[in-house]
Structure 1
Amino acid sequence: MKNIYLYFVFILISVQMNLFAQNIKSKDNYTFQVREEKGDLNNDGKMDKITVKMDLIDETRPLRLQIFLSQPKGRKLTLAVSSTQIIEAQYPVEKKGKHSEYQIPNFFIEKGVLSMWSEIKGGNITYDFKYRNGNFELINVEKLTQNSIDGSIDENTVFTKTEFNLITGLRTETDDHLDSKKILNKRTKRVLIRPLPKIQDFKFSDKKLY
């Protein structure tokens, strides 16, 4: 009886160790690098780095953004942020094997601001994140869309530019035609979001909020 008990304990431990090993392995599948950008993000005069890597094993081709920050001593960079929800998978589950239709976002670092440029339906959107209070907070959003149904552009196409300063809460929408200096319509309102969204909590679907 004792031997049978020990046998079941051994099996249970083996199963748990196998599951643990599988979990570790699944976290290491983001091996294909598609983006890398360097710049000073924490205002210490040293180069920081962001990477975007793809999981080639998962059929949906998910992507992971990681931010590495410099430290006061030494040249070693330390992982500060890791997110798999900020970028949409290339083949989302709901698309049933079809591509998302959008390219992988581009990232830029300028004057301590991390910008993410993404395609959206009928245009594009840029998010600006600033390292503040130990977190990367969303401070500004710019969006450009056009009203053409089939994507074609002519002199009657109306472009809408949205500028949203999350620090002040001022959100402005401006309508005009291509290469026209005349504003067709302008709408302004104040929307306060507190606390400011953090990059580790940000989801690609949040584009609908702005």
Structure 2
Amino acid sequence: MQMVLSLKNSVIIFIFILFSFPLNLSAQNSSVKEHYTYQVREEHGDLNGDGKMDRIIVEMDTLDETRPLRLQIFLSQPNGKLALAVSSTKIIEPQYPVGNQGKFNGYQIPDFFIEKGILKMWSEIKGGNITYDFKYNNGSFELIYVNKLTNNATKGYIDEKTIFTETKFDLVTGIRTEIDEISGSDKALKVRKKRVLIRPLPKIQDFKFSDKELY
């Protein structure tokens, strides 16, 4: 009889452990959820053309060692309240990327501006900077224009002045223009144009910080 009770107790303990394991695992997973609690950017302006103020915020997860960042866009509603329209953790590179062996990526957190209904994102890149223009259209923010300025050291110097390359890419027309210039001069050294059609236009929720290499 005692052996039977012992066997039953063992089965009960085993079942308890079996069912408690996934619960513990779930608890562990919940403990490593995103914690975007530190706000680093905020901007207000009319993005959807209704004459009311919309809101943009950038928040950092301070518990994650990579210090990831999240962009959120809140649009005004007819009832006067703001509703979340976009939330992306892919558009901004973490401050300490996984592939950088725990080192700082070297770039400041991007700035966001609203000008004439256009959402502008200004970011530092290697040797320069890049600005993306997103326009609200049919419920989505579409990339319509890119302006990139880089110090093209591979092309050398002229009279000890640096050569810069400015790239203007109108995604609506598909016209991409590259202009080589000397610092301090208004005259272009060389202008290159080509047509590059991207359809459909990239949407902000699908945009990744690594996409800068595409433009």
Asked if these proteins are the same fold (TM beyond 0.5), I'd say yes
Partners of 2:144 and 2:171 within 8 A in 1: yes
Select which of 30, 50, 56 maps to 1:50. Answer: 56
What's the CA shift for 1:156? Answer: 2.5
Q: Aligned partners of 1:81 and 1:25: how far apart in 2? A: 25
Select which of 194, 203, 213 maps to 1:208. Answer: 213
The answer as to 2:125 corresponding to 1:120 is yes
Q: Aligned partners of 1:22 and 1:67: how far apart in 2? A: 30
Task: Please give the secondary structure, in 1, of the residue aligned with 2:212.
Answer: helix
> Match of 1:37, as an amino acid?
E
Q: Aligned partners of 2:42 and 2:32: how far apart in 1? A: 22
What's the CA shift for 1:139? Answer: 0.5
Q: TM-score, normalised by structure 2?
A: 0.87
Select which of 97, 107, 112 maps to 1:102. Answer: 107
What's the CA shift for 1:25? Answer: 5.1
The answer as to 2:197 corresponding to 1:192 is yes
> Match of 1:173, as an amino acid?
E
Q: Aligned partners of 2:159 and 2:109: how far apart in 1? A: 27
The answer as to 2:136 corresponding to 1:131 is yes
RMSD: 2.2
Q: Relative to 1, partners in 2 of residues 1:47 and 1:25: Cα closer, same or farther, differing over 3 Å?
A: farther
Q: Aligned partners of 2:18 and 2:59: how far apart in 1? A: 35
Partners of 1:129 and 1:138 within 8 A in 2: yes
Equivalenced residues, count = 207
Partners of 2:75 and 2:82 within 8 A in 1: yes
Q: Relative to 1, partners in 2 of residues 1:184 and 1:21: Cα closer, same or farther, differing over 3 Å?
A: same
1:79-112: per-residue Cα shift (whole Å, max 9, x none)? 1111111000000111111100011000001111
Structure 2 match to 1:88 = 93
Q: Relative to 1, partners in 2 of residues 1:30 and 1:153: Cα closer, same or farther, differing over 3 Å?
A: farther
Within 5 Å, which residues of 2 pair with 1:1-210?
11=17, 14-24=20-30, 26-73=32-79, 75-148=80-153, 155-210=160-215
What's the CA shift for 1:13? Answer: 5.0
Determine what percentage of the aligned residue pairs are the same residue. 69
Q: Aligned partners of 1:26 and 1:131: how far apart in 2? A: 34
- Unpaired runs of 5+ residues, structure 2, are 1-6
What's the CA shift for 1:37? Answer: 0.6
Q: Aligned partners of 2:103 and 2:128: how far apart in 1? A: 20
Partners of 2:41 and 2:58 within 8 A in 1: yes
Q: Aligned partners of 2:37 and 2:20: how far apart in 1? A: 28
Q: Relative to 1, partners in 2 of residues 1:138 and 1:23: Cα closer, same or farther, differing over 3 Å?
A: farther
Moved over 6 A (4+): 1-6
Partners of 2:181 and 2:189 within 8 A in 1: yes
Q: TM-score, normalised by structure 1?
A: 0.89
- Unpaired runs of 5+ residues, structure 1, are none
Partners of 1:155 and 1:178 within 8 A in 2: no
Task: Please give the secondary structure, in 2, of the residue aligned with 1:157.
Answer: strand
